[in-house]
Amino acid sequence: MADLTGKRIVVGMTGGVAAYKTAELVRRMMDEGATVDVVMTEAATKFITPVTMQALSGRPVFVDPWDPRVPNNMAHIDLSRGADAILVVPASTNFMARVAHGFADDLLATLCVARACPLLMVPAMNREMWGNPATQRNAAQLRADGIVLLGPVDGDQACGEVGSGRMMEPHDVLQELIAFFQPKPLQGVRVLITAGPTAEPIDPVRVLTNVSSGKMGYAIARAAREAGADVTLVSGPTALATPRGVLRIDAHSARDMMSAVMGETPRADVFIAVAAVADWRVAEASAQKIKKTAGEPPTLSFVQNPDILATVAALPGGPYCVGFAAETEHLDQHATEKRQRKGIPLLVGNLAQDALGADDTTLILYDDQGRHPLPRQSKLAAARELIAQVARRLPAGRVPTLAARPAPGSPSAVPSAPPSPLSLP
160 φ/ψ sector (left φ>0, alpha ψ -120 to 50, else beta)? left
Please tell me the distance from the alpha carbon of residue 283 to that of residue 116, in angstroms, as a whole number. Answer: 64
- Provide the residue count of the chain: 425
The single-letter code of the amino acid at 173 is V
Q: Is 90 helix (H, G, I), strand (E, B) or coil?
A: strand
Residue 396: DSSP 8-state: T
CA distances from 4 to 28, 156, 291 (A): 10, 30, 56
Are 123 and 96 contacting, i.e. CB atoms less than 8 angstroms apart? Answer: yes
- The DSSP-derived string for 265-329 is GGG-SEEEE-SB--SEEESS--SSPPPP-SSPPPP--EEEPP-HHHHHHTSTT--EEEEEEEESS
Annotated binding site for CTP: 279, 289, 306-309, 324, 338, 342
Please tell me the distance from the alpha carbon of residue 401 to that of residue 184, in angstroms, as a whole number. Answer: 13
Please tell me the distance from the alpha carbon of residue 250 to that of residue 62, in angstroms, as a whole number. Answer: 47
Label residues 10-23 b or e (16+ Cβ within 10 Å = b): bbbbbbbebbebbb
299 φ/ψ sector (left φ>0, alpha ψ -120 to 50, else beta)? beta
Please tell me the distance from the alpha carbon of residue 95 to that of residue 88, in angstroms, as a whole number. Answer: 9
Please tell me the distance from the alpha carbon of residue 159 to that of residue 425, in angstroms, as a whole number. Answer: 33
Annotated binding site: 279, 289, 306-309, 324, 338, 342
Please tell me the distance from the alpha carbon of residue 99 to that of residue 105, in angstroms, as a whole number. Answer: 10
Enumerate long-range contacts of 364-369, CB under 8 Å, 24 or more apart. Answer: 364/331, 364/332, 364/335, 365/389, 366/332, 366/335, 366/336, 366/339, 367/339, 367/393
- Active-site hit among 112, 117, 159, 321: 159
Would you call 112 a catalytic residue per the annotation?
Answer: no
Nearest to 419 by CA among 223, 230, 281, 238: 230
- 240 CB contacts (<8 Å, ≥6 apart)? 196, 213, 214, 215, 218
Label residues 89-105 b or e (16+ Cβ within 10 Å = b): bbbbbbbbbbbbeeebe
Catalytic residue numbers read: 159
